[in-house]
Every structure is written in structure tokens, then in C-alpha cells.
Amino acid sequence: MEETAPLTANEYQKRAMETLNPALTQEETLLNAVMGLCGESGEVIDLMKKHLHQGHPLDRQQMALELGDVAWYLAEAAQALGLTLEEVLLANLQKLRSRYPAGFDASRSQHRA
């Protein structure tokens, strides 16, 4: 099987945008994207919990596939807001740096029960 280079964030967003319904307004696109993000991210979390509770190590490739669906909706949401995925990623990195000025501490992160 041929190895393909990973997509850049811009390429990923461009491909996601090619699937959008042009009849939708910007607000409708954003709403659909956010609803998709909520659903897909919840499913990924549930899948990870189930896998770990059964005592299995995480399958990195399977998780990458699952997270790809979340990223797809994130690309749509970013586009609806006039942002690029890079801008979203950089903003989130800045938020983490302000939240954890001494560096990331896993014990201070939110725990999802």
C-alpha cells in the first residue's frame, strides 16, 4: 500500500470545504459544524473510555481515524467563522499557555468522568 504524506491543516480544510452545501447560509453551516463537533467528539471520548476500561491499549491508528471526523467538523466551523485551522490551533495554543504559564500540568487538566 502506498504511503501518502499527511495533509496540512490548510489542505484538510480545503477538502472539507469542498463538501459543504452552497445553499446553506454561513450561520447554518456553523450550526451544522458545531452540532457535528459535539456529536463526533462525544463519540470519540466514549470510544476511548470503553477501550481503556476494557484494559486495552489505545489503537493509535484507529484513534487517528476517529479524530479525523472531529477535525472535519472543526474545519467547517473555522471556515464558517472566516478562520483557518492554523488560526484556531494557534489561538488554542495561546489559551493553553495563558492557562498554564508554568507549562502543562496533567493534574490541573479537566478530568472527564
For residue 37, the domain's CATH number is 1.10.287
Is 105 inside any structural domain?
no
Tell me what pLDDT residue 108 has. 57
Tell me what pLDDT residue 113 has. 45
Q: Read off the pTM.
A: 0.73
Give the residue from 19, 11, 8 showing the smallest Cα distance to 76: 19
Tell me what pLDDT residue 78 has. 93
Is 108 inside any structural domain?
no
Torsion of CA 38, 43, 44, 49, to 10 degrees: 120
pLDDT tens string for the chain (113 positions)? 566 777 888 888 888 888 888 898 989 999 999 999 999 999 999 988 888 888 888 888 888 888 988 999 999 999 999 999 999 989 999 998 898 888 765 555 555 44
Rg of the Cα trace of the chain? 16
Tell me what pLDDT residue 83 has. 94
Locus of grid cell 467528539: 41
Instruction: Give yes or no for a contact between 32 and 24, defined as CB atoms under 8 angstroms apart.
Output: yes
Instruction: Give yes or no for a contact between 58 and 48, defined as CB atoms under 8 angstroms apart.
Output: yes
Is 80 inside any structural domain?
yes
* Boundaries of domain holding 52: 11-98
Is 107 inside any structural domain?
no
Is 109 inside any structural domain?
no
Is 3 inside any structural domain?
no
Ordered DSSP codes for 83-111: --HHHHHHHHHHHHHHH-TT---GGGSPP
Locus of grid cell 470545504: 17
Is 103 inside any structural domain?
no
Number of compact structural domains in the chain: 1
Is 20 inside any structural domain?
yes
